[in-house]
Structure 1
Amino acid sequence: MSIGFITSPACAGHDMGAGHPERPARLDAIHDQLLSSGLDFVLRHFDAPAATREQLVLVHDSDYVDSIFARAPAEGMVVLDEDTSMCPGSLAAALHAAGAVVSAVDRVMAGEVPSAFCAVRPPGHHAERARAMGFCLFNNIAIGAAWARQHYGLERVAIVDFDVHHGNGTEEFVRDRDGFLLCSSFQHPFYPFSGTGELPAHIVNTPLEPGAGGEEFRRAVEEQWLPALEQFQPQMIFISAGFDGHIEDEMAQLRLLEQDYRWVTDVVRELAGRHADGRIVSALEGGYALGALGRSVVAHLNGLIGH
């Protein structure tokens, strides 16, 4: 059975202006690589619905959700923080990005697909309970994970995040909640300059120094993530799939390659097979060097499939 691939044309409508790295061309680069690799034809394609208010407030304060709706412009740009803005298409893009992850949960839980990848933007893991930041409006992965717990009654949900930036919004969400395990790697020191303080046992952060490559990344996963995941025995695994740690990506200074993303995906897939009936939902976070992004997503999808 092939995996699900969930996206929406609405996600291309979010545009924060010329020169901004989080741009619509990111999804085009992924699509081009899927076609050239032949992978596009073995995926099950689904259109993402918009997330509902009920789903958004599983993670975000209701006043914050109202503020995003109220500030969505009919024309021009609205600046939310120094690197996050909204244009007329941004609200629809953000709603469909979050809705894609919820839809992926529904399809995986129904047995329609064993796992799914959401090719969406804007990304989500920096969005906090009541704050947009770091290109993110709603925390897509946290919303999907919360939906899995609330709607399906799963008792143990794991989130793994290998974006080059620390997912401060996701950490904020899981910090005081039972039933979640978060394992996260990121360059440090680096934006948003968080993730290294005192942490509860169900948050496993593995900061990597600038210049670290596949060897350091794999060691951190093997020595710190895997023991925690094996002990936790998740019933579903979510992946914040950021590919901005690639050596070609000028956003940061890690030196990962496509084979490193394939390796960590294989590790997660095998663990999900042991504990979660293979259930994985992955969603795009960062990745701004277009060629490297497309190739890395193909490697990630082949890992989810097990080719």
Structure 2
Amino acid sequence: MSGNDSIAPVEGGFSHFLDQYRFKIAGDDVLPCAATDRPPIVLETKLASGAEAMVMAAGVASAVMSAGVLNKASLNKNKNKNKNKNKGGAVHSGSGSGSQSSLIPAFELRRLHTSPSPHAFTAARKFTWEQLDIPLPPGPDVTRLETTVMLSLQARDRERSRRKEDIEREATLDVSDFTKPLGIDGISGFDQTEGLFQSILTACEYVGLIYKAKFNRTRPNQVEPRLRLMLPNPAHQAYPSNHSFQCHSIAFAFNAILPEHPATEELSRIARKVAENREWAGLHYPSDTNGGRALAQRFQPYLRDAFMANYLAAQREWL
């Protein structure tokens, strides 16, 4: 961009800027669309409504997805299979941005961008949540030791058989895996909590794929061919474990809604069990599990900020 094209400070914050302008992603850069492609500037404080808002939200989400890290088939596995069981139809988020059945919570994901900057496209160029400081995956020597541990798990046929049913069921995470322990599965009055959990599963699936592509760690059986998998390898990298990331994110979110509630420990136990079952299945190293939990811990402030309206709506159901 030339000196004449410098961008003035953003009035109304970065979210307002994203409501007014479209941008595109080219490699590692976020660039403004051509002037002829931009929607007209409307100096209003409220968000665009109706179809126009959905078009802009979809444009932002599709631009990010074009980076090649989004596996749509993988995201589809987390779509709530029981979405029609909820009383009164789909669950609407606190921000009014969509329903529980939405594949991508586009409005909330958009808020994951950096905070306001004097130069908005500079702020958009790097997403701070892509740069979180989590442990690096171990090197070759530790990786080899981890495969030895996994071979020892494989030799425990009785325990492996005991876990088989859970492993197969947990291959596709569902909101009921977390609402049943809370005693609210299928009970009216907790639609916002269920909707929040579903949105977290979807958003963390998306974010986790970005980190997997960054670290590009191969699956355990590609290092140790003697490992017998209980499920096919997913079509993406190993580190960090998305199952660990998603499940621990829900536990952290519920703790933020109701600090020190006894159910938080139960959700944490479920998160550990689901993540460990992926190790027993031969799909993840133990360090993948730890990496997923570390990412959930570091990512939770960004998740809470992006879904704040949903957090508050869910909290009201419990108070």
| Higher Cα Rg, which structure | 2
Q: Which has the higher strand share?
A: 1
Q: TM-score by structure 1 length? A: 0.29
Normalised by the length of structure 2, the TM-score is 0.28
Greater helix proportion: 2
